[in-house]
Amino acid sequence: MTNNKCMEVNMTACFYCGESTGVAIGKKLTDCENKRDTKYVFGGYEPCDKCKEQFDAGFLIIECQETPVSKGQPAIQKGLYPTGSHWVLTNEAADSLFSAKTLKHRMVFVNKEIAEKVGLYQEEGELDDNI
């Protein structure tokens, strides 16, 4: 019987698109012989390069709620937990929806009710992929 121990290795993924962004080395030793599926762990709210490029091209809207979506989810800002829904509007579209004060930040956090009111959902609860 061998007593080989290995560091647990997990993958991080972009919160916004789910693409793999890197490797996270765990603090736990596991048996090297134990095979397991790749585990993805939360790597933060910093977007991957692809998402960052898209976000920089327009005005970012991130849907949030006041309670964590999943156990242990950290807040993106005090009391705000992203749901995973987000949209990038053209600057022209954002100009028609938001005040100059909001526009200067190039992003805004909204709740689902506001996202529905400004037309980000086609019908109640259904995301509009054409935005």
Type of residue numbered 43: G
Confidence of residue 131 (pLDDT cuts 50, 70, 90): very low
Q: Work out the pLDDT band at 33, boundaries 50, 70, 90.
A: low
Indicate the pTM of the whole model. 0.77
- CA distances (Å), origin 115, targets 12, 50, 94, 122: 28, 24, 13, 10
Q: Are residues 80 and 115 in the same domain?
A: yes
* 63 and 110 housed in the same domain: yes
Average pLDDT over residues 70-98: 94
Residue 41's DSSP bridge partners are 12
Does 106 share its domain with 62? Answer: yes
Task: Say how many CA atoms lie within 13 Å of 68 toward its Cβ.
Answer: 6
pLDDT-wise least confident of 26-30, 56-60, 62-66, 120-124: 26-30
pLDDT of 129 above 70? no
Q: Is 116 in the same domain as 64?
A: yes
Instruction: Tell me how far apart the alpha carbons of residues 18 and 2 are, in angstroms, rounded to a whole number.
Output: 37
Rounded-to-integer distance, Cα 59 and Cα 5, Å: 48
Per-residue tokens: 98: 């938001």
Expressed as residue numbers, the domain containing 30 is 5-42
**Residues 80, 108 share a domain:** yes
Evaluate whether 68 touches 81 at the Cβ level (below 8 Å): yes
What's the total number of domains in the chain? 2
Q: Flag whether 20 is in a domain.
A: yes
| CA angle in degrees (0–180, nearest 5) for 55-66-51 | 15
What strands lie across the sheet with 20-31, from one edge to the other? 20-31, 5-13, 40-42
Per-residue model confidence (pLDDT) at position 121? 86
